[in-house]
Chain A
Amino acid sequence: MSEAREPVTMLSTPIHLDYHFVAGDSQSKTLQGYLEGKFIGQRCEVCGKVYVPSRGSCPTDGAPAREVVELPNTGTMTTYCVVNVPFAGQNVEIPYICGQILLDGSNISFMGLIQEIPASEVRMGMRVEAVWVPEEELTPSLASVRYFRPTGEPDADYDSYKEYL
Chain B
Amino acid sequence: MGDQAVFESPHELDFPYSRSLGPTLSAFMTGLRDGQITGTRGDGGRVIVPPTEYDPISSAPTEGSVNVGPGGVLTSWTWIDKPKPSHPSDKPFAWAMVKLDGADTAMLHILKAPSADGIASGMRVSAQFRPEAERVGCMADIAAFIPEEGS
Is B one of A's binding partners? yes
The interface of chain A, by Cβ under 8 A from chain B, is 1-2, 5, 7-25, 27-29, 31-32, 68, 140
| Nearest B residue (CB) for A6 | B30
| Nearest B residue (CB) for A17 | B13
| Nearest B residue (CB) for A12 | B18
**With A13-B18, A14-B16, A68-B1 as given contacts, are A8 and B136 in contact (CB-CB < 8 Å)?**
yes
B148 within 8 Å of A by Cβ?
no
> Are B4 and A28 in touch, CB under 8 angstroms?
yes
Q: What sequence of 0s and 1s flags, for each residue 4-35 of chain B, a beta carbon within 8 Å of any chain A beta carbon?
A: 11111111111111111100011101100110
Query: A18 — which chain B residues lie within 8 A by C-beta?
Result: 10-13
> Are A9 and B7 in touch, CB under 8 angstroms?
no
Q: Which of B5, B17, B30 contacts A8 (CB 8 A)?
A: B30
Query: B12 — which chain A residues lie within 8 A by C-beta?
Result: 16-19
Q: What separation, in Å, do the CA atoms of A12 and B17 have in the docked complex?
A: 6
| Inter-chain pairs besides A8-B21, A14-B14, A27-B7, 8 sampled, C-beta below 8 Å | A7-B26, A9-B21, A11-B137, A13-B17, A19-B12, A23-B7, A25-B6, A28-B5
> Are A9 and B8 in touch, CB under 8 angstroms?
no
Q: What separation, in Å, do the CA atoms of A20 and B10 have in the docked complex?
A: 4
Shortest B110–chain A CB gap in Å is 18
B138 within 8 Å of A by Cβ?
yes
B132 within 8 Å of A by Cβ?
yes
| Nearest B residue (CB) for A19 | B11
Offer 21 A-B interface pairs, CB within 8 angstroms, sorted by A.
A2-B34, A5-B33, A8-B21, A8-B30, A9-B20, A10-B19, A11-B19, A11-B25, A12-B16, A12-B17, A14-B16, A15-B16, A16-B14, A17-B13, A18-B11, A18-B12, A20-B9, A21-B10, A22-B8, A29-B1, A140-B5
Q: Which of B58-92 contact A (CB under 8 A)?
A: none
**With A8-B30, A11-B137, A32-B4 as given contacts, are A20 and B20 in contact (CB-CB < 8 Å)?**
no
Query: B1 — which chain A residues lie within 8 A by C-beta?
Result: 29, 68
Q: What separation, in Å, do the CA atoms of A19 and B12 have in the docked complex?
A: 6
Minimum-distance CB pairs A-B, first 7: A8-B137, A15-B15, A21-B11, A19-B11, A8-B29, A23-B7, A7-B30
> Are A32 and B17 in touch, CB under 8 angstroms?
no
Shortest A55–chain B CB gap in Å is 14
Shortest A69–chain B CB gap in Å is 12
Query: B25 — which chain A residues lie within 8 A by C-beta?
Result: 11
**With A7-B30, A16-B13 as given contacts, are A28 and B7 in contact (CB-CB < 8 Å)?**
yes
Q: Which of B6, B19, B138 contacts A23 (CB 8 A)?
A: B6
Q: What separation, in Å, do the CA atoms of A68 and B138 have in the docked complex?
A: 55
> Are A15 and B10 in touch, CB under 8 angstroms?
no
